Amino acid sequence: MKVFGLIAVFVVGLLLLSATQDFPSWGDPRSAASDGEVSSFYIEKTESVTKVPNMVTAVLADFRGYDTMFETVVIFIAGIGIIAVLRNFEGTDSPSDNDNDDDGAGLLARFTCSLILPFIQIFALYVVAHGHHSPGGGFQGGVMFGASYILLALAFGLSKAKQLFSERRTMIFAVIGIFIYVGWGVLCLLLGKEFLNYSVLDSILPGDSMMARSHSMLVVEIGVAFTVTAIMFSMYSNLSTRGRLSKGL
């Protein structure tokens, strides 16, 4: 197996290296990909048609919003897939595991966590909301928000975190996130334009059709953030307890 793997890997590597010889040099601004019409369109026109200076956010949430919708669905699938594979609803598989109480980390860790948790969460909200102008957006902010709950579970024990964010609630939040995203697209459909064509929403949002695109990006980013927050916490709580959700790390 090792020899076979080595041969396969070297064949693949040599094939890939043989192709790099007719690539443009690294960082060449005149390469086909960087100088192409699509890339130039994104760089030159993004701000004038969507009023969003961060091109990555604009391309992510508007031009290729259909991809991002499925990206959120992928996260959702991972969350419910982990539950489907691992979750043990019958209770514990070995009763002795449940005996010792789960009371998280020591006093110092708890105190530090309770100090920094609010700041993490505020920063996460800032990242979601400020994705139009700076790096960040729904996904990054959602991961950070979910991480704050993971930190809570690590410091105060999973049962404490579950009081705030029970399993049922995580599922509802995850569903709400996708519902916001897809529902926003369906709203465009109901108003008579294509799916995810935000420009038609200027009739219900303040500003012209370009501002409608900008505002809609914020809405779908919030949707992404909901799903990602819920699923990140659900992933951690299932994986750290082998699907029993009774006692954390």
Partner 1 sequence: MTEHFPILILLVPLFGALIVVLLGRERPEQCWITSLISLGLSSIISLFTIIVVLSDKVQTIRYRMGGWEPESTVFEVGIELRVDILAALVVFAVTFVGFVNTIYSKTRAEAEAQGKVPFFYALIQLLIVGLCGIVMTNDAFNLYVLIEITSLTSYALIAMGNRRAALSSFNYVIMGTIGASFYLLGVGYLYIKTGTLNIDDIRMVLGNDKLWEHQSIIVAFIFIMLGVWTKMAFFPLHGWLPNAYAYAPSMTGTFMAPLMTKVMVYVMIRVMLWLFGDKFVYSDQHVWGELVIWMSVIAIVAGSLLALARTDIKKMLTYLIVAEVGYMVGGAWLGNVTGQAGAFYHILSDAAMTFCLFIAASIIVLRIGDSRVNAFDNLFRKMPLTMIGFTVGALSMIGLPPTCGFFSKWYLIRGGIEAGQWEYVCALIFSSLVNAVIFFRIFERAYFGNIAGVKEDFSPSDSDANPDTSIKEVPWSMLVPLYIASVSVLLLGIMNRPLFEWIQTALK
Partner 2 sequence: MIWQFDIIILIFLVVAAIVSLRLKDLLGASMVFGIYSFLICLLWAEMGAVDVAFTEAAVGAGVSTVIMIATVFSTTRRSKD
Partner 3 sequence: MDPIIANFIEENIVPKFNYWIYVILMMIGLYAMITKNNLIKKLIGMAIFQTAIILFYVSIGVKETGGIPIISHHGPDHHQEAEVHSEESSKNLKHNIIDKDKYANPLPHVLMLTAIVVGVSTLGLALAISQRIHKSFGTLEEDEILNELRPGGHD
For 197, the token pair is: 């064509």
Quick note: the x/- pattern for partner 2 over 105-134, rule CB under 8 A, is: ----------------------x-------
Residue 50 three-state SS = helix
Q: Rounded to 5 degrees, what are φ and ψ at 143? A: -60, -40
Cα angle vertex 34, ends 30, 37, to 5°? 100
- Smaller CB distance to partner 3: residue 68 or 199? 68
Q: What does DSSP assign to residue 87?
A: -
Question: For 172, what's the count of Cα atoms within 13 Å in the CB-facing half-sphere?
Answer: 5
Q: How many C-beta atoms surround the C-beta of residue 112 within 10 A?
A: 13
For 165, the token pair is: 């964010």
Interacting residues with partner 3 between 49 and 108 (CB under 8 A):
51, 53-56, 59-60, 64, 67-68, 71, 74-75, 77-78, 81-82, 85-86, 93
Select the binding partner of residue 11 from partner 3, partner 2, partner 1, none (C-beta < 5 to 8 A, by kind).
Answer: none
The single residue among 79, 146, 177, 223 that binds partner 2, judged by CB under 8 A, is 146
Quick note: the x/- pattern for partner 3 over 175-214, rule CB under 8 A, is: ----------------------------------------
Residue where the block lists tokens 């693949």: 12
CB of 67 to partner 1, least distance (A): 6
Select the binding partner of residue 5 from partner 2, partner 3, partner 1, none (C-beta < 5 to 8 A, by kind).
Answer: partner 3
107, with CB counted inside 10 A (0-12, 13-18, 19+), is exposed
Read out DSSP for 148-164? HHHHHHHHH-HHHHHHH
CB of 243 to partner 3, least distance (A): 7
The Cα-based distances of 127 to 56, 97, 183 in angstroms read 14, 39, 23
Select the binding partner of residue 99 from partner 1, partner 2, partner 3, none (C-beta < 5 to 8 A, by kind).
Answer: none
Contact, 220 vs 65, CB < 8 A? yes
Question: For 150, what's the count of Cα atoms within 13 Å in the CB-facing half-sphere?
Answer: 20
User: Of 15, 57, 22, which is closest to residue 220 (Cα–Cα)?
Assistant: 57
Select the binding partner of residue 115 from partner 1, partner 2, partner 3, none (C-beta < 5 to 8 A, by kind).
Answer: none
> Residues interacting with partner 3, by CB under 8 A?
1-2, 4-6, 8-10, 12-13, 16-17, 20-21, 23, 25-29, 31, 33-35, 38-40, 42-44, 46-48, 51, 53-56, 59-60, 64, 67-68, 71, 74-75, 77-78, 81-82, 85-86, 93, 133-135, 139, 235, 238-239, 242-243
> Residues interacting with partner 2, by CB under 8 A?
27, 54, 56-57, 60, 127, 135-137, 139-140, 143-144, 146-147, 150, 232, 235-236, 239-242, 249
